[in-house]
């Protein structure tokens, strides 16, 4: 009976330790990049891809670019923007969940 | 990302096939172009060759047009003494374009273009459905 109690206390202590260290490890893995930086980089990438697509489209209208280039540039921009928007929506919904959390 | 690279490769193939289509159109359009003076050559058929090209920036094998050469096969001959380019025996040299070969080449170019378009669409759909997992 006593040994079981000691085991339980030890297990609890271990869990507490791992629980205490896990978040700091996680934070280290991100390497100091905050959510703001990630979102900022993603948005910049999206804007760049869109600008490239627009340039290709304008060149095609002027007869300087291949239609295939326009299609690939636009598809690329679409993929980048869609993924940025999806991640943003997901993270904002996570923030909202935290805000609504009863304290 | 690999799916974006595959779209890039397919786009290169589309570009190559559209150049091939242009050459086929040139051949077909000139299938009746004849010499204008005795001793002149009529239109000589063009052939396009493709080559596997390494894109070092992306690290993928794409395709590009290697060269557009002239078909060295012999011209045909037609008996037409009234033609301005007829020789002393009354024969005129005619072009070595064979419209049957050109239409087969055209079908092949069409099918290849279609296959690469389908590949682009498939890659795009795969990317989009992966993004949809986040929603």
Q: Which domain holds residue A49?
A: 33-103
Question: Are residues A11 and A48 located together in one domain of the fold?
Answer: no
Closest partner CB to A75 (pick from B18, B124, B134) = B124
Residue A9 has pLDDT above 60, yes or no: no
Residue A24 has pLDDT above 80, yes or no: no
Residue A64 has pLDDT above 70, yes or no: yes
Interface with chain B: mutation pick from A65, A78, A82, highest number of B CBs within 10 Å: A82
Answer for the pair B47, B19: CB distance below 8 angstroms, yes or no: no
What single DSSP character describes residue B45? P
Which residues of chain B register pLDDT less than 70? none
User: Is A45 part of the contact surface with chain B (CB cutoff 8 Å)?
Assistant: no
The domain ranges of chain B are 2-132
Question: Are residues A37 and A70 located together in one domain of the fold?
Answer: yes
Of B54 and A18, more confident? B54
Task: Kindly indicate the confidence band of residue A1, based on its pLDDT and cuts at 50, 70 and 90.
Answer: very low
Nearest CA distance, B121 vs chain A (angstrom): 10
pLDDT for position A13: 59
Q: Do B15 and A82 touch (CB under 8 A)?
A: no
Question: Are residues A99 and A77 located together in one domain of the fold?
Answer: yes
Residue A15 has pLDDT above 60, yes or no: no
Question: Are residues A40 and A74 located together in one domain of the fold?
Answer: yes
Of A34, A36, A44, nearest to A84 (Cα)?
Answer: A44
Question: Are residues A1 and A47 located together in one domain of the fold?
Answer: no
User: Is B58 part of the contact surface with chain A (CB cutoff 8 Å)?
Assistant: no
The Cα–Cα gap between B41 and B35 comes to 5
Per-residue pLDDT of A39-59, as tens digits, reads 788 888 888 888 888 888 888
Interface with chain B: mutation pick from A53, A73, A75, A94, highest number of B CBs within 10 Å: A75
Task: Kindly indicate the confidence band of residue A21, based on its pLDDT and cuts at 50, 70 and 90.
Answer: very low
Question: Are residues A97 and A49 located together in one domain of the fold?
Answer: yes
Question: Are residues A18 and A66 located together in one domain of the fold?
Answer: no
Question: Are residues A86 and A98 located together in one domain of the fold?
Answer: yes
Residue A19 has pLDDT above 70, yes or no: no
Question: Are residues A27 and A40 located together in one domain of the fold?
Answer: no
Task: Kindly indicate the confidence band of residue A12, based on its pLDDT and cuts at 50, 70 and 90.
Answer: low
What single DSSP character describes residue B81? T
A75 contacts in chain B (CB < 8 Å): 7, 120, 124
Residue B96: other Cβ atoms inside 10 A: 20
Of B123, B134, B74, B94, nearest to A91 (Cα)?
Answer: B134
Question: Are residues A12 and A51 located together in one domain of the fold?
Answer: no
Look up residue B4 and give its two tokens. 């974006």
What single DSSP character describes residue B38? T
B15 contacts in chain A (CB < 8 Å): 66, 68
Residue A56: left if φ>0, alpha if ψ -120 to 50, beta else—which one? alpha
Question: Are residues A9 and A44 located together in one domain of the fold?
Answer: no
pLDDT, average across residues A76-93: 88
Question: Are residues A37 and A27 located together in one domain of the fold?
Answer: no
* Average pLDDT of chain A to the nearest whole number: 76
Q: Do B131 and A71 touch (CB under 8 A)?
A: no
How many structural domains is chain A composed of? 2
């Amino acid at each position: 009976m006593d040994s079981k109690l000691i085991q339980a206390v030890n297990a609890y202590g271990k869990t507490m330790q791992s629980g205490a260290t896990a978040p700091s490890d996680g934070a280290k893995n991100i390497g100091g990049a905050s959510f703001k930086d990630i979102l900022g980089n993603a948005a910049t990438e999206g804007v760049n891809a869109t600008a490239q697509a627009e340039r290709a489209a304008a060149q095609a209208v002027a007869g300087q670019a291949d239609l295939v280039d326009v299609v690939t540039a636009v598809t690329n921009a679409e993929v980048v923007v869609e993924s940025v928007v999806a991640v943003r929506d997901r993270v904002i919904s996570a923030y909202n969940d935290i805000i609504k959390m009863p304290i | 990302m690999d799916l974006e690279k595959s779209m890039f490769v397919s786009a290169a193939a589309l570009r190559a096939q559209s150049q091939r289509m242009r050459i086929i159109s040139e051949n077909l359009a000139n299938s009746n172009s004849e010499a204008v003076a005795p001793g002149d050559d009529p239109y000589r058929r063009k052939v396009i060759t493709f080559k596997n090209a390494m894109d070092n920036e992306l690290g993928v094998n794409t395709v590009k047009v290697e060269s557009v050469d002239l078909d060295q096969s012999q011209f045909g001959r037609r008996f037409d003494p009234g033609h301005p380019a007829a020789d002393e025996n009354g024969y005129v040299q005619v072009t070595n374009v064979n419209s049957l070969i050109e239409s087969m080449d055209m079908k092949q170019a069409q099918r290849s273009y279609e296959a690469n378009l389908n590949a682009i669409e498939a890659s795009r759909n795969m990317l989009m459905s992966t993004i949809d997992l986040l929603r």
